[in-house]
Amino acid sequence: MALIVQKFGGTSVGSIERIEQVAEKVKKHREAGDDLVIVLSAMSGETNRLIDLAKQVTDQLVPRELDVIVSTGEQVTIALLTMALIKRGVPAVSYTGNQVRILTDSAHNKARILQIDDQKIRADLKEGRVVVVAGFQGVDEHGNITTLGRGGSDTTGVALAAALKADECQIYTDVDGVYTTDPRVVPQARRLEKITFEEMLEMASLGSKVLQIRSVEFAGKYNVPLRVLHSFKEGPGTLITIDEEESMEQPIISGIAFNRDEAKLTIRGVPDTPGVAFKILGPISASNIEVDMIVQNVAHDNTTDFTFTVHRNEYEKAYAVLENTAREIGAREVSGDTKIAKVSIVGVGMRSHAGVASRMFEALAKESINIQMISTSEIKVSVVIEEKYLELAVRALHTAFELDAPARQSE
């Protein structure tokens, strides 16, 4: 008999009908003999709706109160599923994060899980109950409700699996696994049988929101066997694994990630003296703005140009800080662009293969897509391009790295 943690996402519990379907599925698993802990998201759209309500009251959202509001979405689905199970004769009980005691730090809206009390859950499992836990939420040491950041139910699932030393954490969603790229954008995308934690972490960090980044970090750290599956279609899904050997035999590139969340800022004609980067980025970081990619041009005329990207939400703030810096250090001008996108190729196979980046650049050149910025690490290459070319770029790269699914026979 195994202990499995199963997390169902927003669309999978998006209506009463879907919740009944999940209950049927859980019932079947339970009858097969496994101990089950179920983690749920709010109904799809509900968290956004709750945030909008708060925004109608004030544009100065109070993080603590926002957590009190948004945590209600998951409280509804856990009780509905639990009743649907009991109706089917499956003993079950629901718990909020506070009731389990999923202890987090006090960083409202983006809290980190510190500790999980497993006593109650273990006692219920022993009594033969299915335990249904609200995802996305916890409680800090002072008893304040906290939430874990958007998509945080994945992290609740993985953290519970780690705390309970579960045999597997299964993430049920509206796709049947992790694909070579977002299947909504590239219909030729292929499901991966396996992907390493390291690759999945890069994919998630670079924009593939199929799993929350922290859930992958957690799974890697505590070595939780993690699988992404379709909620209502049978299939093996995708296993996220530490086993790099077998993945090495797969293509050099495992996947392509992209995001439209960034914006680019440039400061031109900066007097080129030691400490330029610090003078420019110091005030940005002092304003709590995170910088992603950075390019400094070779100086000529004793001045240099400096470009970096930030999250699009922080563009206006960063622009104001940079204009201020430009005045102070005597730079010529500040400009910016919010219509950019970042496309990244990811794969552990890159470590043992040369020429991967140039193959990427060649594929983009063939489509006449201009590369504005580049950054690389051991297992990824990212480029910034004009946003309007994003889908074309992802498709071109998908084909260039031979990731396309074999064409279907016409019927």
Residues that bind ligand ADP (CB under 6 A): 9-12, 41, 151, 173-175, 178-179, 181-184, 208-210, 255
Q: Which does 179 bind (CB under 5 to 8 A by kind): ligand ADP, Mg ion, ligand ASP, none?
A: ligand ADP
- How far apart are the C-alpha atoms of 295 and 275, rounded to whole Å? 15
* 374/358 Cα distance (integer angstroms): 12
Q: Are 120 and 97 in contact (CB under 8 A)?
A: no
DSSP string, 273-338: -TTHHHHHHHHHHHTT--EEEEEEPPPBTTEEEEEEEEEGGGHHHHHHHHHHHHHHHT-SEEEEES
Min CB(204)–ligand ADP separation in Å? 9
Distances (CA, A) of 112 to 64, 161, 360: 15, 16, 36
Say how many C-beta atoms besides its own lie within 10 A of residue 115's C-beta: 13
Considering beta carbons, is residue 215 or 344 the nearer one to Mg ion? Answer: 215
Tell me the residue nearest to ligand ADP as measured from the CB: 9
Residues 3-62 close enough to bind ligand ASP by CB under 6 A: 9-10, 41-42, 47
CB 345, min distance to ligand ADP, A: 12
* Minimal distance, residue 49 CB to Mg ion, in Å: 16
Supply the minimum distance, in Å, between the C-beta of residue 335 and Mg ion: 35
- Least distance to ligand ASP from the beta carbon of 74, Å? 6
Q: Which residue has the tokens 């084909």?
A: 399
* Least separation in angstroms between CB 102 and ligand ASP: 14
Q: State the distance between the two ends of the chain, measured CA to CA, in whole angstroms.
A: 43
Our CB check for ligand ASP shows the closer of 80 and 293 to be: 80
Stretch that binds ligand ASP, among 106-114, 151-159, 215-223, 254-262 (CB under 6 A): 151-159
| β-bridge partners, 257 | 344
Dist CA 88 CA 107 (whole Å): 39
* Chain residues in the site for Mg ion (CB under 5 A): 9, 151
DSSP, residue by residue, 52-70: HHHHHH-SS--HHHHHHHH
178 contact, one of Mg ion, ligand ADP, ligand ASP, none, CB 5-8 Å limit per kind: ligand ADP
> Quick check: 153 binds ligand ASP (CB under 6 A)?
yes
Interaction between residue 177 and ligand ASP (CB under 6 A): no
Find all residues with CB under 8 Å of 301, minimum gap 6, and list them: none
Query: What count of other Cβ atoms lies within 10 Å of the Cβ of residue 378?
Result: 9
CB of 21 to ligand ASP, least distance (A): 18
Please choose which of Mg ion, ligand ASP, ligand ADP, none residue 73 contacts, taking the beta carbon within 5 to 8 angstroms, the exact cut-off set by kind: ligand ASP
Which chain residues interact with ligand ASP by CB under 6 A? 9-10, 41-42, 47, 73, 135-136, 150-154
